[in-house]
Chain A
Amino acid sequence: MAEHTVKAFDEDITRLRGLIAEMGGLAEVAIAESLDALVRGDEALADQVVARDKRMDALEIEVDKLAVRIIALRAPMADDLREVIAALKIAGVLERIGDYSKNIAKRTGMIEGRSRFEPLTLLPAMGELAGEMVHDVLTAYAARDPDLAREVIATDVKVDGFYNSIFRNLVSYMVENPSTISSAAQLLFVARNIERIGDHATNVAEMVHFAATGAYPPEGDR
């Protein structure tokens, strides 16, 4: 991005991007740790994920304030305006991803008979894939790289595939082991949450593409 005559504007944008990156880092860690807590039954780690979400909320408010301030004071145009609007929307989406992770962490205490519970082994791989999408989309954001953003959008199909296969697996597991229905139902929600995280990462990728090029990615990619 070209330098601006008003140096303070560059500083504001840099700070805005820094805040988004910090939120993204928090989201990545939240996804990984919430699933780790869920699989190992580590309630202390789950509490940590829930506690860390507060920082996420605070950052979102900070992004909102800064973005509004930039628009009010500097009246940005063209790619600058896109950058600010995208940051505003991305912050909202990342906050949502944090909420989904928090929701996964909160289910840690609700799973019974963890050591013999087969479906638990399927979720971490799905979570890893979704976490990778969030990681890549943030790299695309940092690099203003529309191609990487499109790659992220293409990955969402795999997460959806995972969701469908885990869904079927869980349903047949519930049929065979009725005593585990309450735990397995919780895992259905977890799988649903991860699937939503993948969708949100796709949204972020679209905004990254928009901020970088001024156009949304072609329909075929989505």
Chain B
Amino acid sequence: MGSSQNIPIAGILLASVTFVALLLLGTDVVLAVSVLMVWVGSLLVASGRPPEPPKAKVKQHLTLDSIRDLIENSSLPLVITERNTIAMANRAARKMLGQHMIGQDVRVALRQPEAISLLGDDRQREAIVRGLVRRGDIWQINRLALDERLAMLEFINQTAEADISRAHTDFVANASHELRTPLAAILGYVETLQEDGGAIDTPVARKFLGIIEREAQRMHALVSDLMSLSRVEAEKHDLPSERIDLASLAERAARDAAGPQRLDRLVLDLTAEPVVLGDVQQLEQVVRNLVDNAFKYGAADTPVTVVLDLAQGDLARIAVIDKGEGIASEQIPHLTRRFYRTDPGRSRASGGTGLGLAIVKHIVERHRGRLDITSEVGKGTRVVVRIPIARSDPAEAAAGQDFEPAATTAGESG
């Protein structure tokens, strides 16, 4: 800023105008001149002292302590380094790297070569590091130099994004593999039939055609499961709005899944008649898949029980219970994963696609419900689905008179 701009031009002008006015009014010249001198002099003295730069004031307040307070509660792990040691770390960073990191060499905390390369080079600003805290996690580390001594390291967890993209890749790979297996069988048998068309006698050819049909059915089942899965996923965020009598739906779907041959093994215990907001086809699919699974994995000639009752918190509860060999507890968390099978051979032999429970889980989630699986090895498995009950009619009617969004909110809370 130039010093000429410090001269108060407006003040001097005002003083001069007053001086001229005083002269015109006939005041004594000496008095007028002295007034002018005092006025202008005081203005110049006042302006001679440069105004305090505001930046200096701020800098005084931003001590290391205030930086500590500033970063402490950030949810992002932040670390301040002084030269090559860790001077401070906020709560998130202490939780991530451990309390012992403070005062240690930065390399003790970062370790990975990519992260260490960040420290040596002032031009490099960020690095992607794998396995920083746990195996397979991915962190982006940004380095911001505050001055020549101090720098801030910022840790951004990117594991979740990588997980999602890996899950997608895995899904496509699994789906292709599952489709290729029956296809390979079909192609093989068709080729055999074509090559020695005349030589193969009718019973053998018939057997081959049977296998081709079964494999084609399997592909068909798989493709329809994939389609319903992608449909449920697409609608995941819209709450279904149809009012459904769960008791009659459960009965219908369970009988349907059991089929005429297994109907005598089905035990229905429907003690309540809750009304829920839902999608008829999807809820039928939930019951069908669960009952079908129970028959498939339950021991032969043991009953499969379907219970419908009310649970705490205005929930309708459907439990499907089988008496089979059960599932080991370490397998249970993986059951709703696509194409996960506890016993691949048996599952395929019984016509499973590996998608049944994944579909159930997505449908239940769409209905804002919960899916719980408990099992005891040797005794059997119990799958419980809980879905919120729809609000009683008057409230629903009142909500219905309102605008559309209000109706949706009522549905969500009900």
Interface positions of A (Cβ within 8 A of B): 14-15, 17-22, 24-26, 28-29, 32, 52, 55, 128, 131-132, 135, 138-139, 142-144
Q: Which of chain A's residues have a CB closer than 8 A to the CB of B105?
A: 14-15, 17-18, 21
Contact with A along B105-144 (1 / 0, CB 8 A): 1111111110110000000000000010001000000000
Contact status of A25 and B100, CB under 8 A, knowing A18-B84, A128-B135:
no
Per-residue CB contact flags for chain B residues 10-27 toward chain A (1 = under 8 Å, else 0) read: 000000000000000000
B residues apposed to A, CB below 8 Å: 84-85, 98, 100-101, 103-113, 115-116, 131, 135
A19–B107 alpha-carbon span in the complex (Å): 7
From A52, which residue of chain B is reached at the shortest CB distance?
B113
List, in ascending order, chain A residues with CB within 8 A of B116's CB. 22, 25
Q: In the bound complex, do residue B111 and residue A24 qualify as a contact, i.e. CB atoms below 8 Å apart? A: yes
* Chain B residue contacts of A14, Cβ below 8 A: 85, 103-105
Kindly provide the distance from the CB of A36 to the nearest chain B CB, expressed in whole angstroms: 11
Q: How far is the CA of A28 from the CA of B134 in the complex (A)?
A: 12
Q: Name the B residues within 8 Å of A32 (CB-CB).
A: 131
Q: Which of A15, A21, A52, A135 makes the CB contact (< 8 A) with B131?
A: A135
In the assembled complex, which residues on chain A have CB atoms less than 8 Å from the CB atom of B84? 15, 18
The residue among A52, A128, A132, A142 with the most chain B CB atoms within 10 A of its own CB is A142
In the complex, the answer to whether B111 meets A131 with C-beta atoms within 8 Å is: no
Once A15-B105, A21-B107, A22-B116 are accepted as A-B contacts, the answer to whether A144 and B135 lie under 8 Å apart by CB is no
Which residue of A is nearest B98, CB measured? A143
22 contacts between A and B (CB under 8 A): A14-B103, A15-B105, A17-B104, A17-B105, A17-B108, A18-B107, A21-B108, A21-B109, A22-B111, A22-B113, A25-B110, A25-B115, A25-B116, A28-B112, A32-B131, A52-B113, A55-B113, A131-B135, A138-B111, A139-B98, A142-B104, A142-B108
In the assembly, what is the distance between CA of A142 and CA of B110, in Å? Answer: 11
- Rounded to whole angstroms, the CA-CA distance of A180 and B227 in the bound complex is 43
Q: Find chain B residues with CB under 8 A from A25 CB.
A: 107, 110-113, 115-116
Q: How far is the CA of A52 from the CA of B117 in the complex (A)?
A: 13
- Is the Cβ of A29 less than 8 Å from the Cβ of B112? yes
Neighbouring A residues of B110 by C-beta, 8 Å: 21, 25
CB distance from A148 to the nearest CB of B (A): 10
Q: Which 9 A-B pairs have CB atoms at the shortest separation, nearest pair first?
A: A18-B105, A25-B111, A18-B107, A21-B108, A21-B107, A143-B100, A25-B112, A22-B107, A142-B108
User: A18 and B112: CB pair below 8 A?
Assistant: no
The A interface, classified by DSSP as helix, strand, loop or mixed, is: helix
Give chain B nearest CB distance to A85 CB in angstroms: 18
Nearest CB of A to B205, in Å: 33
CB-nearest residue of chain A relative to B85?
A14
The answer to whether B113 touches A132 (Cβ under 8 A) is no
- What CA separation (Å) do A20 and B72 show in the bound complex? 29
B85 pairs with A142, CB closer than 8 A = no
* Smallest CB gap from B101: residue in A: A142
- Whether the pair B98, A28 counts as a contact (CB closer than 8 A) is no
In the complex, chain B residues whose CB is within 8 Å of the CB of A142: 98, 100-101, 104, 108-109
On chain B, the residues within 8 Å of A128 by CB distance are: 135
Interface centre among A14, A15, A138 (most CB of B within 10 A): A14
CB distance from A116 to the nearest CB of B (A): 16
In the complex, are the beta carbons of B111 and A28 less than 8 A apart?
Answer: yes
Distance of A32 Cα from B112 Cα, bound (Å): 12
Residues of B within 8 A of A24 (CB): 111
CB of B261, distance to nearest CB on chain A (Å): 41
A39 to B34, CA, bound (A): 97
B114 to chain A: closest residue by CB: A29
Residues of chain A contacted by B112 (CB below 8 angstroms): 25, 28-29
A29 and chain B: residue at smallest CB distance: B113
- For A18, list chain B residues within 8 Å (CB): 84, 104-108
Give Cα distance in the complex from A28 to B137, angstroms.
14
Question: How far, in angstroms, from A174 to B106 measured CA to CA in the complex?
Answer: 48
| A28, B85: Cα distance in complex, Å | 22
A143 to B107, CA, bound (A): 13
Residue of B whose beta carbon sits closest to that of A30: B113
Tell me, rounded to whole Å, the shortest Cβ–Cβ distance linking B104 to chain A: 6
Contact A21-B113, Cβ < 8 Å, known A32-B131, A135-B131, A142-B104: no
Nearest opposing residue in chain B for A128, CB measure: B135
Complex-state Cα separation, A131 to B136, whole angstroms = 11
- In the bound complex, how far is the Cα of B362 from the Cα of A94, in angstroms? 47
A21 touches B111 (CB 8 A): yes
**Chain A residues in 8 Å Cβ range of B113:** 22, 25-26, 29, 52, 55
> Across the interface, which residues of B come within 8 angstroms of A19, CB to CB?
107
**Distance in angstroms between the alpha carbons of A15 and B104 in the assembled complex:** 8
Contacts of A22 in B (CB 8 A): 107, 111, 113, 116
Given contacts A14-B85, A142-B100, contact A28 B131 (CB under 8 A): yes
Identify 11 new A-B residue pairs, CB closer than 8 A, beyond the known A14-B103, A25-B111.
A14-B105, A15-B84, A18-B108, A19-B107, A22-B107, A25-B110, A28-B111, A52-B113, A128-B135, A131-B131, A144-B100
Measured in the bound complex, the distance between the Cα atoms of B44 and A2 in whole Å is 60
Task: Give chain B residues whose Cβ lies under 8 Å from the Cβ of A15.
Answer: 84, 105
